Structures are given as C-alpha cells and as structure tokens.
Structure 1
Amino acid sequence: MIDPDDAYQTAATETVELANRLAADTPDNHPWDIADGLLAGAVHYWLYSRQPCGDPMCEDCSAFATADLRVAELKRLVEQLAQDSDYYHSPTDVNVGRA
C-alpha cells in the first residue's frame, strides 16, 4: 500500500508530467485548454471519491453528505492549493507594485 503522502506527491507530479507531455505532443493546443481539461478530470475524480457511503448518520461522510457540502470543500481546497503554489503570484500580475 502506498503511503498517503507518497500517493499525493505521486499524483501531483504525474499530473504535471502529463500536462507537459500533452503540451509537447500537441503544440497547437493552448496550455490553458490542456490545464482546463486536466482540472475538469481532477474535479470529476475528486467528486467521485467523496461520494457519501449512504448511511445518513455516518460521521466520516458528514462533511460530504450533500453536493453543496462537497463543492464547498472543493472550493476551499482549491483556494488553499492555489495559495500554496509557487505560481500563485506572478511578476506580471496587474496588482504587483512597480517602483
């Protein structure tokens, strides 16, 4: 069995490698389109993985018991991951100070 931290890192690394491969193999496709497709697949899988077990009293599933709760958690997670990314701020952001 893979350690959860290793599984997380492996999945993240392989996603970036897949994006780079797709970009190299299809140079006519815009990187935004590739990224949007990867994000759509990741969201789809994440929502699939958070389906509640069916027991309305299950404490483990309570945070994901409704579609709205799942989407709220997904938004929170995406915001956290974005802010933790090396690419969150860009030197070309329009709100970057210029001296």
Structure 2
Amino acid sequence: MNDIPDIYETAATETVELANRLAADTPDNHPWDVADGMLAGAVHYWLYSRQPCGDPMCEDCAPIATAEQRLAELKRVIEEMARDSDYYHSPTDSNVGRA
C-alpha cells in the first residue's frame, strides 16, 4: 500500500518533466499543444488501465463496467485533480476581483 503514493508522485513528476523537456526541445510548438498531447496520452492510459475484468458479477469492476461509467469516473478524477492543483486559480482569471 505504501507504494501507491510514491508511484503516484513519481508518475506526476515525470509527466511534468517530460512536458517541460518537450516544450524546451520544440520552442515553436505552443505549450497548449504539448499539454494536450500529454493529456491525450494520460487519458488513453487511464482508460486502458480501467478495463473491466470481464466477470459481470465483479464488485471491483462494477463502477467502471461500461464506457459511460468509465468516462464519468474519469471526469470526476480530473475535476478533483484540477481543483487540487496550485494552478487551478490564476491571478489573471477574468473573474478575479481587482481593486
């Protein structure tokens, strides 16, 4: 169980480092394009990792037993991670008060 936070942190850190390298190696590419590519790969892997086992009675797979259930869970996880991010709010957001 103790390996889960370590692998989570390692995967997140290495993903950011890879994105930074890709952005630095290809300065003509917009950072949004790099980020979109990274996100596409992450979503692809996340969906791959959440394939149900095939046993229709499996309790562990019940919440992800259909494509729509997997998509709903993915959206939930993405929203949670986004809200927890240091970058969720920006001082340049259009809804930030200015005095």
TM-score range, shorter-chain basis? over 0.9
Structure 1 counterpart of 2:80: 80
TM-score in terms of structure 2 length: 0.97
Deviation at 1:58, TM superposition (A): 0.1
Amino acid paired to 1:48: Y
Q: How does 1:34-45 map to 2 (within 5 A)?
A: 34-45=34-45
The letter for the 1-side match of 2:97 is G
Query: Given residue 44 of structure 1, which amino acid in structure 2 is its aligned partner?
Result: H
Aligned equivalents of 1:8 and 1:71: distance in 2? Answer: 21
Instruction: Give 1:20 shift.
Output: 0.3
Q: Identity across aligned pairs (percent)?
A: 81
Deviation at 1:39, TM superposition (A): 0.1
> Aligned equivalents of 2:56 and 2:32: distance in 1?
40
Paired residues, number: 98
**Could you tell me which amino acid in structure 2 is paired with residue 50 of structure 1?**
R
Query: Is 2:87 the counterpart of 1:91?
Result: no
Amino acid at match of 1:35: A
- Partner Cα separation in structure 2 for residue 61 and residue 11 of structure 1: 24
| Deviation by residue 1:65-93 (Cα, 9 ceiling, x = unmatched) | 00000000000000000000000000000
Structure 1 residue runs of 4 or more that deviate by more than 2 Å after TM superposition: none
Q: Is 2:35 the partner of 1:29? A: no
| TM-score when normalising by structure 1 | 0.97
Which residue of 1 is the match for residue 8 of structure 2?
A: 8
Q: Which runs of 5+ in 1 are unaligned?
A: none
Q: Which runs of 5+ in 2 are unaligned?
A: none
Tell me, in whole angstroms, the C-alpha distance in 1 between the residues paired with 2:79 and 2:97: 23
Q: Do residues 49 (structure 1) and 55 (structure 2) align?
A: no
